[in-house]
Structures are given as C-alpha cells and as structure tokens.
Structure 1
C-alpha cells in the first residue's frame, strides 16, 4: 500500500513559485534554482531575503572554491607556473569573499538606511567587484604555463562561484527601493 503524499500548502507553493519566477530571468536560471529553491520557505516572497540568500550561496561557494584551490596549491607535484597561478587565485577569491561579505553587510543595513539607493549601489558595486576578482583568477591561467588538470579544476570552481555571483548581481539590480 502506497503512502499518501502530504498536501503541499498553497503558501509553500507561492514561495516556490516566487523563487522560480525570480530565477527564470537570471543569467543562469538552473544555477539559481539549485541554490535558492531549497530555501523558498525561508525566502517567502521577499525580494530582499532572496538577494541575501543568493549572496549567502555565493559566499558558501566562494569559500569552497578557496578551499579547493588552497588544497591544489599544497600539492607536492605542482609546477612553478601552477604554484604562481594558484597563489594569485587564492588572493582573488579571498578578495571576492570580502566583497560578497561587504555586499551582505550593506543589504543588512538597507531597511534602516536613510539613503537606500546609495546602500543598494554599494551592494551592486561590491558584488560586481567580486565577479571581477573571480575572473581575475582565470585570467592568470592564460599568462602562465598551467597543467591541464589544475586549469580544469580552477576554471570549474571559479565558474561555479562566478555564476552564483552573476545571478546575485542580477537580483540586486532588480530590487525596488
């Protein structure tokens, strides 16, 4: 005998639809859905919560990327070219993490701020800077002789976080204050 599924509340459906509708217009809709849909009930139908969750997902991914690249840098068999690129990349990701944290901090002060447009502009600037930092990491690959395995791992990690950052920036750009 099959168990009956618990009915999904109309409120939960509303929250899920809000996240889906919001993600469908981002640059990377499937990345957006995968990172935000699990938090639909926490986001509710609040665009500010959506943006903060998007930035939190970006921050988590950036931290994972930093960890991945740091492990690569500690490998015993890396070349000088690999080591140089990885060292620069770790710094780029650290800068990106700092930028994302600044953006989150700005958004946390948005509701109480007298100049909401200024605060929102700061969040946009910091998120945009995070994207620049992320791509700076992959730009270094072209300047050095990097082993294919290291190159693939860096690019894969960076593309994950850069797509999340891009989606977060899109969502910030469309906030109404």
Structure 2
C-alpha cells in the first residue's frame, strides 16, 4: 500500500472511530438538559414551583433523574436555608439596639428554628436509610412526620410575630427567612409523599 493510500485509510478510520464514539456516547449538554427538564417537570407539581426550581437546578447533575436523590437534595436545601436563618436570627439577637419585645420574639424563633433543623435532619437521615431498610413504609412515614413537624415549627415562629410588638425591620427579616424555609419544607414534603417505594 502506497503512502497516499495509507494516509487516506488513517483518515477514514479516525472518522469512523469518532462517529461511533459520538453515536454511543450522549453529549454532556444533552444529558444536562435531560436532568434539568426532570427537575423542572417535578417542581411544576409542587406548591411552590419557582422556589423548587431555584433551589434544585444547581444540583441537576447530582440529582440526575432519580426521585430519591430529588428528595434528599430538597431536604438538604431546606436544611441549608434553615441553618442560614438561624445565623441571621442569632445576629439580630446580639444587635446593640435590640428592644425587649424584639429579643423575646427572636428567642422564641430560635427555639422554633432549632426544632425545625433537628426534624429536617431526622427526615434526611430516614430518607438516606430508605434503600437498606426492611420496613420502607415505616421509614417513609417517619420522614413525612418529621418534615410536617418542621413546617409546623417554622410557622410557629411567624405566627408569634403577630402576638408581639416588634420593629418592622426585624419583622421583615424573620418573615422573609421563615416563609422561605417553610416553602422549601413544603416542597420537600410533597416529594416525600409522592416517593414510590
């Protein structure tokens, strides 16, 4: 075989190899689109779709198209938000210009948010053990109960705001943070309730 034939044969083989590789291996952009579409579609059924997509889309590659991973990440997003809110409330408590009324409300809210964090952690732990559990229905029921309890505690904080005279600034910060957590929790509970086991 002459040099020219060898050259063209090499080109042809390279072309075939690349073509086969592209055919067998889906492009990463197409895969990512599949995962993001899964999250968007799933979130459309929740009570707060926009909150759902905003909190979960950054984790599309980790969630993939797996319902259990969707639940875990949804609970993780709730936990992260609750931890951030606890930090915000603790900073408000330590503020020099805090009034007694504000301090009392914030103290109650810290208790509520601590309870909520504990319950979300328990729920996440239960969901994480679901695959290996012999009694999946019992474990799932526990996750539902703990997430529901977390929502109750989150709204206990906001309900307490109407019973006290507090400053508008403190009121706005607490309301914004707690409502955000409650919505994330509500979406997580929806996914737990619709998890097929």
Scaled to the shorter chain, the TM-score interval is over 0.9
1:20-59 maps to which residues of 2 (within 5 A)? 20-59=40-79
In structure 1, runs of 5+ residues without a counterpart are 1-6
Task: Measure how far apart 1:115 and its partner are.
Answer: 0.8
Question: For the aligned residues, what is the CA RMSD?
Answer: 1.0
Q: Which residues of structure 2 form unaligned runs of 5+?
A: 1-26
Tell me the SS of whatever aligns to 2:195.
coil
Could you tell me how far 1:138 is from its partner in structure 2?
A: 0.9
2: CA distance, partners of 1:88 / 1:20: 36
Higher relative contact order (CA 8 A, sep 6+): 1
Give distance in 2, aligned partners of 1:130 and 1:21.
Answer: 25
Cα shift at 1:10: 2.3
Equivalent in 68, 72, 75 of residue 95 of structure 2: 75
Q: 2:114 aligns with which of 85, 94, 98?
A: 94
The one of 86, 89, 104 equivalent to 2:124 is: 104
* Count of residue correspondences: 171
- Cα deviations by residue, 1:11-40 (Å, 9 ceiling, x for unpaired): 222111111110111111010000001111
Query: What is aligned with 2:6?
Result: none
Q: What secondary structure is seen at the aligned counterpart in 2 of 1:112?
A: coil
After superposition, residues 140-155 of structure 1 pair within 5 angstroms as 140-155=160-175
Of 12, 20, 23, which residue of structure 1 is paired with 2:32? Answer: 12
Mapped partners of 2:185, 2:96: distance in 1: 32
TM-score (structure 1 length as normaliser): 0.94
2:138 matched to 1:118? yes
Q: Whole-Å Cα distance in 1 between the matches of residues 195 and 73 of structure 2?
A: 14
Q: In structure 1, what is the Cα distance between the partners aligned to 2:92 and 2:100?
A: 13
Q: 1:9 deviation in Å?
A: 2.9
Q: What's the TM-score once normalised by structure 2's chain length?
A: 0.85
- Answer with 1 or 2: which has the greater Rg: 2
Q: Secondary structure at the match of 1:157?
A: helix
1: distance between equivalents of 2:128 and 2:145?
15
